[in-house]
Amino acid sequence: MSNTNTNSNHDHYVPPKVWSQDKDNGGKFANINRPTAGARHEQTLPVGEAPLQLYSLNTPNGVKVNILLEELADLGIKGAEYDAYKIDISEGDQFGSDFVAINPNSKIPALVDLSVIEDGAPINVFESGAILLYLAEKFGKFVPMDQGRARTDCLSWVMWQMGSAPFLGGGFGHFYAYAPQPMEYPINRYTMETKRQLDVLDAHLEGRKYMCGNDDNDYNIADMIIWAWYGQLVLGKLYDAAEFLHVDDYVHVKRWAQKIAERPAVKRAVDLPLQPIP
């Protein structure tokens, strides 16, 4: 067997002692993937009149924040009005100078709260979980505010999603849908983990209407953040993978996902109109 750094049918890939990006890695996002951070071009993001400025895309991570903002809108919460702008990650908008100033990690979504000024500048919030918690606590909605079991359960499931979804999106989704060619080992590895996570949710949701209880007041950011990934997955909205994952096995997750999907705010959130940036 040849000991070369290739990945053909006849040779095994042997990692070099020091990795370098010496060729295109292929896949859907190969044109923007680099091992470095920071701005790649000058950019001026638009700023609207609303207190909240959202820079995002209607991917699962973006949909999380859309849902909460639309739920707040349905409650008529003053100060939760927002302008939403499209960050086209396939075109590299996330590497523009203004966006990187908001989120140095160059990932959507990112939020600017113009209603709060500290040290002469508004509040920037990045990472979807941080944005959901920031908004929920700011307006006192969709998160238990008092210390105790209800708040702990909510935050535990929010953190579960933040830690688990990269295996679904960056793992399963990448190798099943976006890699330059199908590869058995990573697809099997991440399919197993995705199905294990769905099993965790299915067992938890047996006998529960929402992630944190059965009362309509128990619907909270844990449901929103998990639904954007796992709810859409079992409803056949992600990666065209519902049959492959045999999502019908997860009857309690599907029942919960369908209930959340019927909410007017959620219906609007998944196809939220986003204004283009110049």
Please, what's the b/e burial string for 237-263 (b: 16 or more CB within 10 A of its CB; e: otherwise)? bbbebbeebebeebeebbebbebbeeb
Residue 118: both structure tokens together: 């500290």
The domain locations on the chain are: 149-263
> In this predicted structure, what is the pLDDT of residue 98?
98
Ordered strands of the 52-56 beta sheet? 82-86, 52-56, 110-118, 121-126
Q: Could you tell me the pLDDT band of residue 264, with boundaries at 50, 70 and 90?
A: very high
The string of pLDDT tens digits covering residues 199-230 is: 999 999 999 999 999 999 999 999 999 999 99
Helices 184-205 and 251-261, axial angle in degrees (round to 10): 80
In CATH, which of 1.20.1050.10, 1.10.3720.10, 3.90.950.10, 1.20.810.10 is domain 149-263?
Answer: 1.20.1050.10
pLDDT of residue 240 exceeding 80, the answer is yes
If you search the block for the tokens 């209800």, which residue do you land on?
Answer: 150
Residues 4, 14: contact at Cβ < 8 Å? Answer: yes
Bridge partners, 210 (sequence order):
213
DSSP letter at 96 equals B
pTM for the full predicted model = 0.94
Q: Which H, E and C letters describe 204-239, residue by residue? A: HHCCCCECCECCHHHCCHHHHHHHHHHHHHHCCCCC
Please, what's the b/e burial string for 178-204 (b: 16 or more CB within 10 A of its CB; e: otherwise)? ebeeeeeeebeebbeebbebbeebbeb
The string of pLDDT tens digits covering residues 48-80 is: 999 999 999 999 999 999 999 999 999 999 999
pLDDT of residue 8 exceeding 80, the answer is no
pLDDT of residue 1 exceeding 50, the answer is no
Between residues 28 and 146, the one the model is more confident about: 146
pLDDT of residue 87 exceeding 80, the answer is yes
Q: Could you tell me the pLDDT band of residue 22, with boundaries at 50, 70 and 90?
A: confident
> In this predicted structure, what is the pLDDT of residue 2?
37
